[in-house]
Structure 1
Amino acid sequence: MEFSFSREQEDLRSSVKDFLSRRSGSEARNTILKSGYAFDRELWKTMAQQLGLQGLAVPEAADGSGAGFIETSIVLEELGRDSYAGPYFSTIAASWVLEHGDDAASERLRSLAEGSRIFTLAIADEGGTWSRPGHSTRAFEVGDEHRLTGRKVNVTDADTADEFIVIASLPQGPAWFSVAADAEGVTVNVRESLDITRPIGHLEFHDVKATLVVGPQDAAAVLAEVNDKAAAGLAAEMVGGAQAALDQSVRWSLERTQFGRPIGSFQAIKHMCADALVEVETARLLTEYAAWAIEEKAPDASVAASMAKQAASDAFNLAAGNNIQIHGGIGFTWEHSAHLYFRRAKASSTLYGTPQGHRARIADLLAV
């Protein structure tokens, strides 16, 4: 198979890259370094209304563009390259559940596409994982409505979201529900995250009103789809971050001099950059294939998603770690953006499965 991006897809990449260079970029990273994470809602609305990024993969029937997963991965890669601090991944991940819902879910997709509401997924119970959430969060039918009680952990952008898309157990099996963040009985506990560009929180639900989005008959299949797309999407984001860390390393190695010559001329530095380049390009190829496989519903889409996630995790950790080493003492200071890449690499590696977990999943899927 020969794969290449279309002109429209390349134009999308250029538009996103140009927009981020003008509206986000180093200035936003410096603000985070000095003042901590602060979500820019005006930038969020501009992304939705001028570029249509939130509605990129939303069906046209819900006022989206109806684009595919390849386009989504392109945007995520550019956002990762920019170290964008905002709930784009979280909201897009929620749309993968909402697109399986009814007319009420379509209205939520419309608000998502126009940038007026922010969503995130709440999957793992205490002791659970993204692929095996657990059964301690329970939902019950009370008259004509559902009530939900339980606790969800490691929820991305929990304090930014207007609405949570929650998987919980009904007596008939797991199902997906929508819960308003300001509903009575919802408690959001934000925890200090290693990645200061992506807050993580825990949620507590105490007899909270919930709206059914996907019933027990389809919930498990939707969860499997979400996990594949999340792994591949995060891989794209991490490839962008890894490339940015590598680019920063190369720029510094050409600017910084020791003993009257650029440090990039030293063999040890050359090897560090070359090793990172090999890992980044390998991860990029696997990530692009995973995006294609998911969009085409290829039989090996799940394997491809896990291969991309573990390779991107390894590449990002290597590129970000080498970046700090190449910068030397200045790279270890909190004032330098090198540690933002390192923090994001470590944190993103654990989201929706660690590299070790995905390698084990690959072995299981291939029956090795």
Structure 2
Amino acid sequence: MQFRYSPEHEELRRGIRRYFAEVADADAVRRDMATPTGWDPVTWQRLCDELELPALAVPEEYGGAGFGLVELGIALSEAGRSLLCAPLLSTSIATQALLHAGDPDAAAAHLPGLAAGTTTGTLAAREPGRPWDATPTTTAERAGDGWALSGVKDWVLDGQSAGLFVVTATTAAGTSLFLVDAGAAGLAVEALPVVDPTRQVTRVTLTGTPGVLLGADGAGAPGLARTLDAAVTLLAAEQLGVAEAALASAVDYAKQREQFGRPIGSFQAIKHKLATVLLEVEAATSAVMYAAWTADESPAELPEVASIAGLTCSEAALLAAGENVQVHGGIGFTWEHSAHLYLKRATTDRLLLRDPQEQLDRIAALAGITAHAPAQPDGAAAVDVLAGSTER
């Protein structure tokens, strides 16, 4: 492969960036993040109708554009760059779950709505105090012609507005995937207090909730693993956008702000900060490009490559956002400036799906290296603390 985007990809990026500058500027972000759902349905439908972003990685036979994670990754990178408040990531992850579940009938029934944006979806996989990859303690039992699900899921993206939930549960045959409609009996959705005000996450409680089996009973683990690897890749693309925006903001301010009669960007300390961030952003760019290409062209390699991208982009986004605040000085700590929003998004994204230590352990395991237990608290605990949850 060539480590550069094609002219068509660059044109896609420019088009999305221009559009987001119109519908997702700083004022729109602050307006939308204060709404009960965290996003504007009118803006979302425009993104779906005019740019067809949720349809990018959906096959044409299901009403999509027939592209892959390379193109969808570009869209999510631009979404991260603008801190877009919309269920694009959550719906994209649900779409990946349907694509990897091995259930053509379910795909034909639900993917057209997800691609068109008339239905929003989300993945309910993580459980309180447990890693994202853990075997679910949520159970599913047969109830007549269907299934009844019972358990608790947390850190469910956009669960307060999702129309379709892809839920992991354990049956007598093993890990399985189920589709649960919003408003189903026994389904309770509770908003979680989180650090990042631009992204809403929820706790979902299922009490005998009816669900439809997705794929074969007990055969959900491989599809879930592929879905999580794709999700990590898409999240890494978003983190890259956050890092790029933070770096650009810091550089622009360093050129404008003057101290002792000259721009602060001329001082060696600021130069070193920004040069270090640039190196991390360049590494993150390469990691995202390769992970997205691998997802489309060589999926067998994706588990390791996705973890590398997730680790690299998590660190790059947090560094870039933190240094952006530092370069801006006092104004960077104010509510009125957007620097803190990028820092909060980077902080939250770093623990979403898998934290850096979990990514390192996974890379080591895939390489056949025995990983040592981390000295710091486990990632599951860190995510719960970040969300303001004490349930273990």
Measured on the aligned residues, the alpha-carbon RMSD in Å equals 1.6
Verify the 8 A CA contact 2:154 2:203 in the aligned structure 1: yes
Instruction: Report the CA distance shift for 1:299/1:164 in structure 2 as closer, same or farther (over 3 A).
Output: closer
Distance 1:22 1:254, change over 3 A: same
The residue number in structure 2 matching 1:74 is: 74
Which of residues 114, 120, 131 in structure 1 aligns to 2:133? 131
What is the CA–CA distance in structure 2 between the aligned matches of 1:139 and 1:87, rounded to whole Å? Answer: 27
* Segment of structure 1 superposing worse, 294-303 or 282-291: 294-303
The corresponding residue for 2:26 is 26
Question: How far is 1:130 from its partner?
Answer: 1.5
- For the Cα contact (< 8 Å) 2:246–2:320, is it kept in 1? yes
1:217 Cα shift?
Answer: 5.0
CA contact (8 A) 1:185 1:206 kept: yes
- Cα offset, 1:235, TM superposition: 0.7
Mapped to 1, the partners of 2:34 and 2:157 lie a distance apart of 22
Moved over 4 A (4+): 32-37
Structure 1: state its 5+ residue gaps: none
Q: How many residues align?
A: 367
Match of 2:356 in 1: 355
Q: Which amino acid aligns with 1:103?
A: D
- Structure-1 residue corresponding to 2:283: 282
Name the CA shift for 1:142/1:88 in 2 (closer, same or farther; >3 Å). same
What are the Cα deviations for residues 100-143 of structure 1, in whole angstroms up to 9, with x where unaligned? 323243221111111111100000123322211x3321111112
- Paired position in structure 1 for 2:117: 115
Note the C-alpha offset of 1:37: 7.1
For 1:360 and 1:40, the matched residues in 2 are separated by 38
Relative to structure 2, which stretch is displaced further, 214-223 or 250-259? Answer: 214-223
Aligned to 1:15: 15
Give me the whole-angstrom Cα distance separating, in 1, the residues matched to 2:29 and 2:120. 22
Which residue is 1:311 aligned to? Answer: 312
Q: Work out whether residues 171 and 218 of structure 2, in 8 Å CA contact, stay in contact via their aligned partners in 1.
A: no
Distance 1:35 1:339 in 2: 19
Contact 1:33 1:334 survives alignment (8 Å):
no
Q: What is the match of residue 207 of structure 1?
A: 208
Partner of 2:184: 183
- Per the normalisation by structure 1, the TM-score is 0.96
Map of 1:85-104 to 2, 5 A cutoff?
85-99=85-99, 100=101, 101-104=103-106
Q: Tell me the distance in 2 between the aligned counterparts of 1:334 and 1:66.
A: 41
In structure 1, the partner of 2:373 is none
SS in 1 for 2:195: coil
SS in 1 for 2:191: strand
Q: Counterparts in 2 of 1:1-368, with a 5 A limit?
A: 1-31=1-31, 38-99=38-99, 100=101, 101-132=103-134, 134-216=135-217, 218-368=219-369
Cα distance in 1 between the residues matched to 2:98 and 2:161: 18
Quick check: 79-88 or 32-41, which moved more?
A: 32-41
SS of residue matched to 1:198? coil
How many angstroms apart in 1 are the aligned matches of 2:130 and 2:217? 19
CA pair 14-221 structure 1, distance change in 2 beyond 3 A: same
Question: In 2, Cα distance between the equivalents of 1:208 and 1:321?
Answer: 42
Task: Report if the CA contact (8 A) 1:148-1:206 is conserved.
Answer: yes
Confirm or deny: 8 A CA contact 1:30 1:337 kept in the other structure.
no
